[in-house]
Structure 1
């Protein structure tokens, strides 16, 4: 017999007797939640799995002694991923910046641009300071003067002034000579052109509307292509990571010889990316920065595998908008700029490398030279290419600025494939958090404007109400009659009394 209990006078079956029927429903609920979780995070899971499988595959293939041709064939799927991402960079940067600059009015564009530049400069200067401090604390070059890794010498014939003049030249050209560190495409010049062109289209008014709509449509179509490419990322990353492991030289020798340098660089990236940048984000937004960063696992994994800020840009824009709700006008305006000029991770390892080479040559750095390293690393990181090993050339600028030889740059190249991975992750993290901060500031400004508009409308309503009352007193016959009657009332009372 089924047991029943009463609640508010109604007979209710006993929970013990219904437990058997509730359990399948609970199981279905858990299964649906699991299915929903997998649906939302499938790409992230596949991307991280691609890295892990790539490591295992690389270690397996490493023992097969492949020829150079076989290694090239093995790396082909990863090479295709890099080429896909590079293919999409040019239309993505130009269209996103043109549409972003055209969608913002000149005043807000200048204000957001000023905040972005200040954020990039301050965070890069902090990163440079962390790099110098860690280099003097850990002393990676002390006692390592007898390094002999059989590496070729890297030479640089540029003067420091020429390097900075080249940076200014790149602002006003679309391409650079093929064979340089930017592979013939000058992203910095494209960024400046696209921003100015977007502002010019907005100034045209109605005549520029059609072209603005064209770039907006082009931008959306480009993002569709990005969404297709992102599903290839896990497969491409697997072979990209695996091929790097196959190509590795004697890792044990490198780690034992340059272990302190590698440790100092990665520790600097952990401190800046795990503590400093999240604190800056929290200080501006009062929100949990790690909740924001949890939606960006796919671009971080892509950055780790490709070592390229520019190649990570497509997936970064998509994830920042879809997972974190950043305004498209903000993300598509700031992220391309950040991928070009914001290089916090590069600034850290460049400063550590400069101090490391100084210690390697028993060169005592004075306060003026340390300050020169900070300023030069901060400034030169703006012109560093957002591609693998793009920051190595800028180290030569720092070394020349403080009078150190560039012959030891080959040591940096030997371990750059290790350090450059965490460098790129910190670079793109700084870009993403900068977009989040600007989105928050933009929202606060919009709220203030809405409140001011509401207050203005309320004040206008009050003014109109007072004016209507005064008008009725002047024109209404009824009010006039009542007023005259009330004025005559005292005389009537006196006469009666």
Structure 2
């Protein structure tokens, strides 16, 4: 029994039994390791996904906040509009949005001047002239196409047909009159550099002449007994209106930058000053951008609160609004991206995806100039456009490139013609296209520039301007998509110029490399030729003869000959 017990105990403590326990222990350890590795992998995957979301939010935080500000502004405006606020309370409610506009306008002047001076001074005259020519051609071409789209849509949709009963009295609108001729607008544009602080604006005043003893009297065309002011001949007088003369600043800054570059070393210090000033302005812009979502919320909300009987306006002018916005969608969603793709062979919507913040700012502020700071920042940081290109071309585009404005102006001109049952001939249609394209250049420097430009077009084709108040009533709706299209045209123009500049730099680099290779080949040929000539001189039989004729150079040869 004892032996059996020992055998059993011995079997229980046998080496095979120990090895089995060890194997089980190892398997448990391996299983624990696998579970631990699995948990670590899952935690790494979660941390990786968290880091991706963190990077996404950090990259698109401004876009998310800005779009959220617009949506919250719509909801806040609809909620507050039921409270029947007084005019003073509306002003207080709109103050945060007004603060945003004031801050953006504060940086426009230093941003435009410093950007253009540093941009014009950093580019050489040849590339500056070429890029400027391409930019002008792009701006004029796209604006002319936009005008054609507006006229075509107005004739297809016919917003004014059947709306003859629509008048300003039924909508309780004030009349808008135009005291300006077409030629006066072009004269104002030609005088923009003369006064940088004020905007040139031609007005008409009654003409007075001096009487017999130097007494001033009215020059009347009717009988002397009448004193009718309507009989007075109206004389154009050049005056100035309050407001920043952006077009004059653009021209002055460009010429000043070119002049600084011509100075050479003497102008380098001032160029560095403008560059530093420009960078400091962009730092201010980055600070202001964090206030944009809050200000946009109150801008949109205050505009909704100020609306009175918007349903009647939209239903009465629905066709006009639809034609204008459809033209903006066609031009901004099809034409401009196709032009960008034709030049660059790149996806235009990838480029536009980095500009959501400027588009939202343009939609809320209805101002290309106020959108300029955020546009420059996003074009450079999100799309990698060269600073010299963006800060040179975007301020110009914000002033002279008005594709969206050209569309709604042409639609409005045809709408008013249809409203008055006036048939437009081919000459008048061509006049609308040319006048809208040319006069949109100065629209940014004129108060209510879009409406005044429509008045210029109507005067050019001989139509009355009494119905302009209809355009002014719904301008706050159409002007939002108008500004978005204007900003999009500027941004895509900067992208095209950046691509052209890169292609030119590549060509120039290839030419320089080819010239260097040719120079190296010529040097090699020259070195071989020199080596061969030296070898010939050493082996020539004339060496002794030459040495005989030159006793100072070869005295040993002379002695041997003697």
- So what's the TM-score if we normalise by structure 1? 0.92
Structure 1 residue runs of 4+, over 3 Å off? 1-4, 11-21, 177-183, 386-389, 476-481
Alpha-carbon distance in 2 for matches of 1:182, 1:399 = 23
Any idea what the Cα deviations from partners look like across 1:11-57, whole Å, max 9, x if unmatched?
99998995444222111110110001101111111011000001100
Counterpart of 2:410 in structure 1 is: 351
Residue 471 (structure 1) shift: 1.4
SS of alignment partner, residue 194 of structure 2: coil
**Over alpha carbons, which structure has the higher Rg?**
2
Alpha-carbon distance in 1 for matches of 2:34, 2:433 = 70
Alpha-carbon distance in 1 for matches of 2:363, 2:105 = 16
Alpha-carbon distance in 2 for matches of 1:438, 1:162 = 33
Residue 393 (structure 1) shift: 0.8
Q: Alignment partner for residue 297 of structure 1, among 340, 356, 368?
A: 356
Counterpart of 1:118 in structure 2 is: 137
Residue 320 (structure 1) shift: 0.5
Counterpart of 2:253 in structure 1 is: 194
How do 1:71-470 residues align onto structure 2 when only pairs under 5 Å count? 71-147=90-166, 148-176=170-198, 183-385=242-444, 389-470=448-529
**373-382 or 202-211: bigger deviation:** 202-211
Contact 2:198 2:240 in 1 (8 A): no
Contact 2:324 2:407 in 1 (8 A): yes
Alpha-carbon distance in 1 for matches of 2:485, 2:341 = 17
- Shift in CA distance, 192/302, structure 1 to aligned 2, threshold 3 Å: same
Alpha-carbon distance in 1 for matches of 2:188, 2:65 = 41
Residue 476 (structure 1) shift: 3.9
Residue 184 (structure 1) shift: 1.9
Alpha-carbon distance in 1 for matches of 2:446, 2:185 = 18
Contact 1:307 1:388 in 2 (8 A): no
Contact 2:153 2:411 in 1 (8 A): yes
Q: Alignment partner for residue 57 of structure 1, among 66, 72, 76?
A: 76
- Shift in CA distance, 349/139, structure 1 to aligned 2, threshold 3 Å: same
Contact 2:188 2:200 in 1 (8 A): no
2:57 matches 1:38: yes
Residue 439 (structure 1) shift: 0.3
Alpha-carbon distance in 2 for matches of 1:338, 1:93 = 11
Alpha-carbon distance in 2 for matches of 1:135, 1:176 = 36
What do you get for the CA RMSD once the two structures are aligned? 2.2
Alpha-carbon distance in 1 for matches of 2:243, 2:101 = 16
- Shift in CA distance, 235/181, structure 1 to aligned 2, threshold 3 Å: farther
SS of alignment partner, residue 296 of structure 1: helix
Any idea what the Cα deviations from partners look like across 1:197-256, whole Å, max 9, x if unmatched?
011111111111111111111111111111111111011001011100000111110111
Contact 1:313 1:339 in 2 (8 A): yes
Alpha-carbon distance in 1 for matches of 2:241, 2:405 = 16
Any idea what the Cα deviations from partners look like across 1:427-463, whole Å, max 9, x if unmatched?
0100000000000000000000000001111111111
Contact 2:340 2:348 in 1 (8 A): yes
- Shift in CA distance, 26/480, structure 1 to aligned 2, threshold 3 Å: farther
**Structure 1: stretches of 5+ with no match in the other structure:** 5-10, 482-497
Any idea what the Cα deviations from partners look like across 1:134-164, whole Å, max 9, x if unmatched?
0000000001111131211100111111121
SS of alignment partner, residue 317 of structure 2: helix
Alpha-carbon distance in 1 for matches of 2:446, 2:365 = 8
Alpha-carbon distance in 1 for matches of 2:506, 2:467 = 54
Counterpart of 1:487 in structure 2 is: none
